[in-house]
Amino acid sequence: MKARWILVAGLALLAVGCGGSTTPSTGGSAPSTPTPTATPASTAQVAQAYLSAATAVDAAYTTWKDDLVAANGNVLQLKSQAASYAAVLTTFDRTVQGIGATGQAAADIATLVTDDNTVIADLNALPSQTVSTEAAWDTKALSDGLAAVAQGDVVRTDLGLPASS
């Protein structure tokens, strides 16, 4: 049971690492969806686009967390919810790859997407878990989620956003 609640905390951090504070540290605004332009987007515009993309991840996490609490920590009961959460993370990753980040921020976003893909694979693997394999899945999912959170904080720093809390 303790491992299940640790998993909840880890996946919570993943959502916060992607989303979190909605205030970039520099001024400016951007359209809610990325649009191609002749000039590179400013860091503030990229930060705003990142936060906009993260809104759905935050909502999906809230649903996942609430469902997990309702299931009393039994992740094996949440196979369809895990698939929904994985789909939202996939959409987030596709979106942030097109927000116009350049240089180190673009490289760090690519690493975040790679880390998120590992988390998505974990979520997609949940339906094949059994009572005897659940503990190992919990451990792996938590570790992978924490790696994605750390990388999300790197991206947030690149974009002038505060680290997740």
Q: What secondary structure, in 3-state letters, does the chain show?
A: CHHHHHHHHHHHHHHHHHCCCCCCCCCCCCCCCCCCCCCCCCHHHHHHHHHHHHHHHHHHHHHHHHHHHHCCCCHHHCHHHHHHHHHHHHHHHHHHCCCCCCHHHHHHHHHHHHHHHHHHHHHHHHHHCCCCCHHHHHHHHHHHHHHHHHHHHHHHHHCCCCCCC
pLDDT truncated to tens, each residue of the chain (165 aa)?
444 544 544 554 455 455 554 444 444 444 455 555 446 689 999 999 999 998 888 888 888 888 888 888 788 888 889 999 999 999 999 999 999 999 999 999 999 999 999 999 999 999 999 989 998 998 999 899 899 989 999 999 999 999 876
Gap between the Cα atoms of 149 and 85, Å rounded: 16
Per-residue DSSP letter, 73: T
Place of tokens 């997609």: 124
The confidence score (pLDDT) of residue 6 equals 45
Gap between the Cα atoms of 40 and 28, Å rounded: 14
Q: How many residues does the chain have?
A: 165
The confidence score (pLDDT) of residue 72 equals 82
pTM of the model: 0.77
The confidence score (pLDDT) of residue 76 equals 81
